[in-house]
Amino acid sequence: MAQIAILEQNMINMIAAGEVIERPASVVKELVENSIDAGATKITVSVEDGGRKLIAVADNGYGMDREDLGLAFEPHTTSKIKTSKDLLGISTLGFRGEALASIASVAQIKAVSRTKDSNSGNCVEIDCGSKGETRPCSSDCGTKIEVRDIFYKLPARRKFLRTANTEMSHITEQFTRTALSNTEIDFTLEANARVIYNLKGVQSLRQRISSLFSSELGENLIETESDEKKTGVHIYSLLGKPEISRTNNKLQYIFLNGRFIRDKFISHAIKEAYRGCIEENRFPVIFLFIQMPYDEYDVNVHPTKIEVRFYNSNLIHSQILAVLREKLLSVDVGVSARIPAGEQKGNQINEAIAEFFKKHRPIHTQQQIGFQGAASGRKYQTQYRPSTEYERQLPQKRNFLQIHDSYIVTETEEGFCIIDQHALHERIMYENLCRRIKAGKLESQKLLLPESFQLTAGEAEAISNNAELIEKLGIELIDFGPRTMAIQAFAVMLAKASPVEFLRDLIGLLTDKSKTENGEKLLDKVLNMAACKASVKAGQRLSDTEIEQLLADKDTLERAGRCPHGRPTMIKFSKAELEKQFKRT
């Protein structure tokens, strides 16, 4: 007897529902997308019990007539594509014609719809795939679909639903994505008859973000836009300033022609763009909108269409990276500090500041410790002094102060700013090192006494494999007996670092990931390490001249606001904020 049977249609729908309809939030997604495709300008989503009991979506779109309403819940019925050619350029959110049939196979449905040119509407009810008659009924223009008791005949799937709160959070996330990419539409979200969001249409994206998240988030976004005529790719983005970065990527919203997507190439481009602006393990906040020709990518890859396939993903990657990076480098993304508004807290801070200045009166020391600092005892043939490029005469009025031997408070045009001396010097060092290495090699000088160190065979191999890099760093090594090498000469710029310690760390980097990392990344890591080791440390008293020079160097930097590790190098305070707090305004 034949073992193979053709499945019943409702069975097929239920299987399809397994892919498209995972949970109540998927129903919200499909229904709201249909409303958008129907040209709605006002969409209301109401749910009960996290969507487990009820999900209702009402719109004022162009509606369906009696015949269409009867067909809409049948499998593979769609008004959005007709031939396979249409698959090449899909401009609507839906096209697979399976969402309504899938939903109707796993829940109780009531759908009411009326077209603009009709005086009355029609309605239809479906209970887990068994459809009633389509009958006339009274209705506003548009469509309202109610979905009750999802999976009630499928205990195995119902069991997988989470608590109402969890399901609600998925619905809110889904609602947020749609509301972000359709700022011209009025959106309302109600849960258990309580309004959660009531978003007025024709909002700017920034306003919508403020309404959906917080005004603080809305205020900390930098806008950028680019139009590539050749490729037809248009990018619009609101970039989160580094200080609002997160520990996960939940606040990264990427939209392709209005469709929320997740894409690893794009995520990578975002990460690269922020390199050096935020710490490695943090995620920037970003709202990224890509518009491009519909036939340049395929959305028909995944049933929920959250993944797409770009025909030229390298191009997309490089354009996004370039646009974001250029913007991030061109603006001052420094941290600006705000004194908390609360009366009491504000006063506490004011008192603390006053107290602080009392204790730390500017000391007019002319003592010159020099940037040599801890390394001043080093046995160099000639004493190294840092570049004199920016050494200038002391200004008439000293407008800085070193505190805790670690921070520099300095007056700025807008107010004042507190600098982390190590972080800033590290940034300066890093930029200088990059520049010098690019131009050739670091200038080196012979040590009076070579410093020796022991190493394993593997480490010796790493050294010989990276001989060129070591030479570029201005380091000269010689064999010094069995498994021993000695440092003969060391880079002038790295004078603050102990040569042997530096070599240890360098070998660590070379043996760690040298096999998997490309040369450029490795060099970047080495330069980061070198910058850190060769910078003034926290807890080191600096002379006025040194501070002067640090401040002058800061002004010549493109990205002084972040150390190479992405930590802020300075925090700015505005004068206006101070005046407000001291009740001067």
Q: What is the contact surface with ligand ADP in residues (CB under 6 A)?
A: 30, 34-35, 38, 59, 61, 63-64, 72, 77-80, 94-101, 143
Long-range contacts of 366-369 (CB under 8 A, 24+ apart): 366/543, 366/544, 367/541, 367/543, 368/543, 368/545, 369/540, 369/541, 369/542, 369/543, 369/546
63 binds Mg ion (CB under 5 A): no
CA angle 548, 553, 558 (to 5 degrees): 145
Instruction: Choose among 565, 580, 575: nearest CA to 279.
Output: 565
Interaction partner, residue 96 (ligand ADP, Mg ion, none; CB < 5-8 Å by kind)? ligand ADP
Nearer CB in complex with ligand ADP: 79/192: 79
Residue 546 binds which of Mg ion, ligand ADP, none (CB < 5-8 A, kind-dependent): none
Bridge partner list, 130: 127
Q: Using an 8 Å Cβ cutoff, are 257 and 90 in contact?
A: no
Select 72 or 333, whichever has its Cβ closest to ligand ADP.
Answer: 72
Scanning 38-163, the segments in alpha helix (DSSP H) are: 66-72, 99-105, 155-158
Question: Site residues for Mg ion, window 87-106 (CB under 5 A)?
Answer: 94, 99
In terms of CB distance, is 143 or 336 closer to ligand ADP?
143
**Residue 105 site contact among ligand ADP, Mg ion, none (CB < 5 to 8 Å, cut-off depends on kind):** none
Angle, vertex CA 565, rays to CA 269 and CA 432, nearest 5? 100
- Binding partner selected for residue 80 from Mg ion, ligand ADP, none, CB under the kind-specific 5 to 8 Å limit: ligand ADP
How many binding residues for Mg ion (CB under 5 A)? Answer: 3
Q: Which is nearer to ligand ADP, 20 or 510 (CB)?
A: 20
Retrieve residue 511's tokens: 């043996």
Counting DSSP H helices and E strands in the chain, the numbers are 18, 24
Shortest reach from residue 103's CB to ligand ADP, in Å: 8
Residue nearest to ligand ADP (CB): 94
> Can you spell out the DSSP letters for 301-341?
TSTT----EETTHHHHHHHHHHHHHHHHHHS---EEE---S
> Nearest-5° angle of CA 573, CA 421, CA 507?
135
Q: By C-alpha distance, which of 509, 504, 443 is closest to 476?
A: 443
H or E segment and range at residue 527: helix 519-533
Cβ neighbours, 10 Å, residue 209: 25
Query: Which of 223, 213, 274 has the alpha carbon at shortest distance from 245?
Result: 274
**Under 8 Å between Cβ of 105 and 122:** no
Phi, psi of 544, deg, nearest 5? -55, -40
- For ligand ADP, the closer CB: 19 or 461: 19
Residue 419: strand, helix, or coil? strand
Q: Which does 54 bind (CB under 5 to 8 A by kind): Mg ion, ligand ADP, none?
A: none
CB of 95 to Mg ion, least distance (A): 8
Q: Which is nearer to ligand ADP, 87 or 352 (CB)?
A: 87
Which residue, 270 or 308, has its beta carbon nearer to ligand ADP?
Answer: 308
Cβ atoms of 52 and 198 within 8 Å: the answer is no
Choose among ligand ADP, Mg ion, none what residue 210 binds, the Cβ cut-off being 5 to 8 Å by kind: none
CB-nearer residue toward Mg ion: 12 or 375: 12
* Choices 32-40, 46-54, 208-216, 263-271; region in contact with Mg ion by CB under 5 A: 32-40
CB of residue 48 to ligand ADP, shortest distance in Å: 20
In this chain, which of 26, 34, 319, 581 binds Mg ion, going by CB under 5 A?
A: 34
Residue 159 CB, nearest approach to ligand ADP (Å) = 26
**Residue 540, binding choice from ligand ADP, Mg ion, none, Cβ under 5 to 8 Å by partner class:** none
Nearer Cβ to ligand ADP, position 82 or 435? 82
276 contact choice in ligand ADP, Mg ion, none (CB below 5 to 8 Å, kind-dependent): none
Provide, rounded to whole angstroms, the least separation between the CB of residue 33 and ligand ADP: 7
Q: For residue 536, which amino acid is it?
A: V
How far apart are CB 567 and ligand ADP at their closest, in Å? Answer: 48
Q: What is the nearest approach in angstroms of ligand ADP to the Cβ of residue 13?
A: 11
Question: With CB under 5 A as the contact rule, which of the stretches 34-42, 158-166, 362-370, 387-395 interacts with Mg ion?
Answer: 34-42
Residue 330: count of CB within 10 angstroms of its CB: 12
In the bound state with Mg ion, the residue whose beta carbon lies nearer, of 30 and 577, is 30
State the residues that interact with Mg ion by CB under 5 A.
34, 94, 99
